[in-house]
Amino acid sequence: MILIRFQLIRWATLSLLALQLLALAAGCHNEGRSAEPGIKVMTQNVYVGFDVGPLLAAQNPNQIPILAAQAFQQLLSTDFPERAEAIADKVALEQPHLIGFQEVALIRIQSPGDLVTGGTAPAEDVLFDYLEILLSALRARNIEYQIAGTVQNVDIEVPMLVSSNPVSFDDIRLTDFDVVLARSDVVVSNVMSANYAAKAFISNAGLEIPRGYVAVDATVKGNRSYRFVNTHLEDTPFQDVQLMQAQELAATLAAETKPVILLGDLNSSAPEGATYQFLESLGYVDCWLQNSRTDKGEGLTWGHEPDLRNETVQFTVRIDLVLVRPGKRPPAPQDLGTVFAEVWGDELDERTISGLWPSDHAGVIAEIRLPWPLLP
């Protein structure tokens, strides 16, 4: 009787061990085929708050102080602190691992100004620091993001008419940044930021417009690593410059073996834009085209009025993009696994309490679950 009980116990133990081994083998088999837990990313052009077109198009320098005053009034009326609250609400809801922000402005003033009298002292008194405003709004929601990297683009100062009787001027200064924020549980390393050699030149103003990118290695959930890149390419009137900037960026990423997530305001309309098609030819896959959402729509991202108070959605193009170049191991490069993406900032109920759109651009949020073999 004792022997029989011993045999039963041994058989039960061996059976349990066999089941565990089978389960482990099945798990290893499935690991090579299933999708990883995923990385969630967001791109948002936050909009500097005024239409820069009239200033850049001015043919007479004497127009600048008046145009600057008009732009400044529009900047005040588009109220970035209020808009930042809406952006922070969306970030708090989605909690992406990584965020790429464009047009993150630092607005400084000198009063009275000295430019009109030939002075050279730069304006240093801060009126609006968009990055600090965003971070403060996020902290108020008890979510922690770190500044993973920034790149400074244009830094321009102009005289601004503040009174016609008596005539007086301030100097107003805009410094533009692109920024990468990382959630507190994401490990960031190998940070690189640079301006492109290719720049647009505004001949009537004698002004070069620098653009740049920020790239970081991001490790998610302890051991999933990606190269994450945020950029704001040149606008459509300078498509040749835009394409050259994309070529520069692609060259810096050519040898990268980790999956590359390239996002931002690329200013190249999908799918017909030359820059878009160039990146596509290099194996960058448009997340929106692999979107698993059944209600995804067209994904258009730009077209709100400069004052952000249009009552209808007027988007015409899709230029805010999330592109992925998977790692160089199989399966085929075009396979992104599972993608869930949405456009945000294109619904009437997403406006602020005073009726402002959060930006003139929609944001794009994408959760990407690459197949395991693509990951390092």
What are 119-151's pLDDT values in tens digits? 999 999 999 999 999 999 999 999 999 999 999
- pLDDT tens digit string along 52-61? 999 988 988 8
* pLDDT at residue 28, as a whole number: 38
- Give how far Cα 351 sits from Cα of 298, 304, 359, 364, Å: 20, 12, 9, 16
* pLDDT at residue 36, as a whole number: 55
Query: Cis (ω within 30 of 0) for the bond into 331?
Result: yes
* pLDDT at residue 20, as a whole number: 46
Lowest mean pLDDT among 14-28, 274-288, 330-344: 14-28
* pLDDT at residue 222, as a whole number: 67
* Arithmetic mean of pLDDT, 10-24: 42
Whether 88 and 141 have beta carbons less than 8 Å apart is answered as: yes
For residue 186, pLDDT over 70 is answered with: yes
Whether 269 and 300 have beta carbons less than 8 Å apart is answered as: no
Instruction: Enter the tokens of residue 318.
Output: 């899709």
* Arithmetic mean of pLDDT, 105-132: 97
For residue 375, pLDDT over 90 is answered with: no
Stronger pLDDT, 267 or 62, i.e. the higher one? 267
Percent of the chain topping pLDDT 90: 77
Sequence ranges of the domains in the chain: 36-374
CA distance 80 to 72: 12
Whether 263 and 365 have beta carbons less than 8 Å apart is answered as: no
Q: Which of 121, 342, 151, 117 is nearest to 249 (CA)?
A: 151
Percent of the chain topping pLDDT 70: 86
Mean of all residue pLDDT scores within the chain: 89
| CATH T-level topology, domain 36-374 | Deoxyribonuclease I; Chain A (3.60.10)
For residue 25, pLDDT over 60 is answered with: no
Which H, E and C letters describe 308-359, residue by residue? CCCCCCCCCECCEEEEEECCCCCCCCCCCCEEEEEEECCCHHHCCCCCCCCC
Q: Which of 272, 222, 218, 265 is nearest to 246 (CA)?
A: 265
Instruction: Enter the tokens of residue 234.
Output: 């040149």
Query: Residue 41: CA atoms inside 13 Å, Cβ hemisphere, count?
Result: 29
Categorize the per-residue pLDDT at 372 as very low, low, confident or very high, splitting at 50, 70 and 90: low
**pTM check: above 0.75:** yes
- pLDDT tens digit string along 308-362? 999 999 899 999 999 999 876 544 456 788 899 999 999 999 999 999 999 999 9
Query: Cis (ω within 30 of 0) for the bond into 166?
Result: yes
For residue 14, pLDDT over 60 is answered with: no
Give 250's contacts (C-beta < 8 A, 6+ positions apart).
278, 279, 282
- Give how far Cα 326 sits from Cα of 19, 247, 276, 287, Å: 36, 18, 17, 11
